[in-house]
Amino acid sequence: MRLLIVIFLFTTSRHLYAQETAPFYFNKGFNYLIVDKQESINYFSQSIAKDPNFSLAYYYRGLANYKLGKYEHAISDFEKALATDENMTKCYIYIGFAQQQLNNNTKALASFESYLQNQKQISSSDHLVLAKSKAANGDDEGALIEYQLALDETTSEEQLYHLFLAMYDENNFLEASKLINQIIQINPSFYGYYLHKGKVELNAKKYDSALKNFNFALGLNPDVADTYFMKANTLDTLQRLDEALINYSSAIQLNPTDGSYYSKRGNTKMALGNRNGACLDWTIAGELGYYADFDKIKTVCEKTIIKNK
């Protein structure tokens, strides 16, 4: 009987020891990856302790660290995964994302480029990631090229929108207009696209078309301050001052903390002969940190006060 117990204990201990392997702890970590990322990190660490060259354990521990916001730890894990297996090129993408979270845009771009250099086929999503990274590094020309390459492969709403923003920032309103029209064809129910289209038309001095798009945007969503503000700007340009005043006031009602709204409404009030109302709006604009028209406090308002005395 004693011999049987000894044999049983020996067999059990061997079985338990056999379980305590790198793959065993890796599987435990993988199973915990969704429900408890910190616990999964603990198991991946035990797996790595058993096998310091276990590249997948580094990779998934990196993912867990990334999800927990531990970006420096994540970068270290992804780099170790690459060091143990150079074919794990997906690590470059996550290193880039982590570097972006740490505001290291130059390092992020280098990681994304390393990823693309190791890809036989580059997808539209890859081009889009690189485009955003180049834009963050101030390389607008490079970003435009990447956006265009993404579009050459497949056209999506997101890709068109980013290309539109790039064209708009470059003051290329002709191309921006074409792109926003394509986007509206894909998604005709989002108010923001009509707001953007109105801005393009306003910059192109197509005022009636701009007003039409701002009104359409308001029809889809009447609670957006910027739409009223842009509509008011257009009406101001057309010298429809009473209508402009109403729309500036609507913008302020929805967003009373934007100094530019008060400043522009002050200009309109002044044009309508309401000097005191204008001075009050310019003062509020200054208090909110918007000083574009603040000099008028001295040139207009203080002279008015002295004159009244």
Where in the chain are the domains?
Answer: 15-104, 140-188
**Where is pLDDT greater, at 274 or 30?**
274
Mean pLDDT of 230-234: 96
Which of 35-39, 238-242, 245-249 has the weakest average pLDDT? 35-39
pLDDT confidence of residue 28: 87
* pLDDT at position 13 over 60: no
Most confident range, picked from 28-32, 36-40, 207-211: 207-211
pLDDT confidence of residue 134: 85
* pLDDT at position 166 over 90: no
Mean pLDDT of 50-59: 94
pTM here is 0.58
**Where is pLDDT greater, at 309 or 140?**
140
pLDDT class of 183 with cuts at 50, 70, 90: very high
Q: What is the C-alpha separation between 159 and 163, in angstroms, rounded?
A: 6
* pLDDT at position 246 over 70: yes
pLDDT class of 9 with cuts at 50, 70, 90: very low
CA 105 to chain centre: 14
Give residue 119's region: left, alpha or beta (phi > 0; psi -120 to 50). Answer: beta
- Fold for domain 15-104? 1.25.40
Alpha helices by DSSP H, the chain: 2-19, 22-32, 37-50, 55-67, 71-84, 90-101, 105-117, 124-136, 140-153, 157-169, 173-186, 191-203, 207-220, 225-237, 241-254, 259-271, 275-287, 296, 303-308
Mean pLDDT of 137-159: 77
- Centre a 10 Å sphere on the Cβ of residue 138 and count the other Cβ atoms it contains: 10
- Centre a 10 Å sphere on the Cβ of residue 267 and count the other Cβ atoms it contains: 20
Q: Torsions phi, psi of 256, nearest 5?
A: -80, 10
Q: What is the C-alpha separation between 235 and 241, in angstroms, rounded?
A: 7
pLDDT confidence of residue 245: 96
Cα first-last separation, the chain: 115
pLDDT confidence of residue 306: 39
pLDDT confidence of residue 303: 60
